[in-house]
Copies of this chain bind each other. A is one copy, B any other.
Amino acid sequence: MAAAGIRNIFIANQITHPLKLKRLRDLHEKTKLAVGTDHPRQIRLLNEYFSDLQSALDVLIEIDSGLQRCGLLPGPRLIDLARQIKESEYLNFKGIFTHAGQVYSAGSTEEIRRIAGQEAQIMLQSRQLLQENGIGCEIISVGSTPSAPYLVDQEGVTEIRPGNYVFYDNIQYKLGSCRTEQWAMFVLATVISQPAAQRIIIDAGSKALNLDRGAHATNLTEGYGRILNLRGEIVRLSEEHGVIQLDNAEEIIPGSAVLIVPNHACAVTNLYAKFYLLNQDGSFEIIPVDARGMSQ
């Protein structure tokens, strides 16, 4: 990676609602942040909301590198939007960013590498188009956790955002993004019943593990998490119950612990009020999850 150092900023994506714009303004006064956008209307809103502040707001344009969610393609709309930002008195045009989330549908390492290549290509193409129109890009920011390793040495890229690397999870493992010893988040459940020889029930359902079987609503995993200390699959989740199909008939006493690597660590984080951090010496610290439930 062309070293850009670590920026002390956070890309707040596509902020549009007035209440959220106000919160963004408050945050901007406390820390350095950048805002991602892909629409002229957002530029007008941002310029309006930040008009009476001392420092201008850094803005990046989101590029669609294949996820087909937000973002522009290299073309006239991209040039127009960059120009609009440059002409906005209270905004700084800083560059472009993308998230190649379609990588979560990849079936092989080769496909992940191919998607990472596409991700880089469309970003460089966007940079070139802007340059040809007299607009420089200071930041070229890419990243999905699976594609990030293939972009570390990519010419032109100034930043990667390998979001999930703090915890990793079962989905990242399935995609080959991590090794088992890199898993850092576990859900500890309790067996509450064994109604049949090959069926046990745990006290962790969709409110504890989520229904994710892949990111962006893909279905990458068979079950709803990876069990580490029993041979079986979490085949079904109700809200408070998890149904485990055991590989073999064996008696499991209610009260037994079941250690699970969640499918999607990000979504699971949002379900808990606190984490228990296990230190090297075996002691625990409690870490509150302050930002969960902030949809409102």
Interface residues of A (CB under 8 A from B): 13-17, 20, 38-39, 41-42, 45, 64, 68-72, 101, 190-196, 199, 201, 203-204, 206-208, 210-212, 215-217, 224, 236-241, 243, 253-255, 266-267, 270-274, 292-293, 295-296
Contact = CB atoms under 8 A, between A and B. Distances in A.
Given A17-B203, A195-B72, A272-B295, A41 B266 contact: no
5 contacts: A14-B241, A17-B203, A45-B255, A272-B296, A273-B293
A188 to B, nearest CB: 9
A68 B273 CA distance: 31
B193 A14 contact: yes
A45 B254 CA distance: 10
B295 A243 contact: no
Given A42-B254, A69-B236, 20 more contacts: A14-B254, A16-B190, A16-B191, A16-B255, A17-B255, A20-B190, A38-B193, A39-B194, A68-B195, A68-B199, A69-B195, A101-B238, A206-B212, A211-B211, A217-B236, A217-B238, A239-B270, A270-B271, A273-B293, A273-B296
B239 A267 contact: yes
A195 B71 contact: yes
A245 to B, nearest CB: 10
A194 B42 CA distance: 11
Contacts of A68: 195-196, 199, 243
B295 A292 contact: no
Given A207-B267, A217-B237, A64 B295 contact: no
A253 B215 CA distance: 27
A73 to B, nearest CB: 9
Given A267-B207, A270-B271, A295-B272, A192 B238 contact: no
A203 B19 CA distance: 13
Contacts of A42: 192-193, 254
Nearest to A296: B272
